Homo-oligomer: A and B are copies of this chain.
């Protein structure tokens, strides 16, 4: 169901991308792989309570995004979240993230619904589309009934 570069270990990925294998980076990447959700800096800050500075977390996420291993989305509350790219079309500075982002109003989780592609939309003449983000709010599978 979930694969990311054949689920490589965090250390190997950092290596291949030319990142240093620092403890925080390893933890963040490992966490992203394990939870398989779109996580925010504030969430990471709580998760790794005071193990890393806020700014460091922001910079790690930006660095990962720039290398194309994660993608950034604005969630339904306007907070930036990052999730692993689990398809091979994501490359440095060139993401393909045209899937639905589901925001659970119960647990607060945000997940990429990679299987729910966004249908092509016919925009009015003279509008050109470059990027798209579809947030759905509702109850997720874990919180249902």
Contacts and interface: CB of A to CB of B under 8 A. Distances in A.
B133 A134 contact: yes
Given A78-B78, A127-B141, A141-B126, A136 B115 contact: no
B141 A124 contact: yes
A139 interface: yes
Contact of A126 (B115, B116, B130, B144): B144
Given A74-B77, A76-B74, A134-B134, A127 B115 contact: no
A140 B116 contact: no
Interface residues of A, number: 36
Contact of A113 (B118, B124, B135, B137): B124
A138 B128 contact: yes
A131 interface: yes
Q: Which of A76, A136, A139 neighbours the largest number of chain B CB atoms within 10 Å of its CB?
A: A136
A119 interface: yes
Contact of A121 (B79, B100, B139): B100
A127 B105 CA distance: 11
Interface of A: 74, 76-80, 100, 102, 105, 113, 115-116, 118-119, 121-141, 144
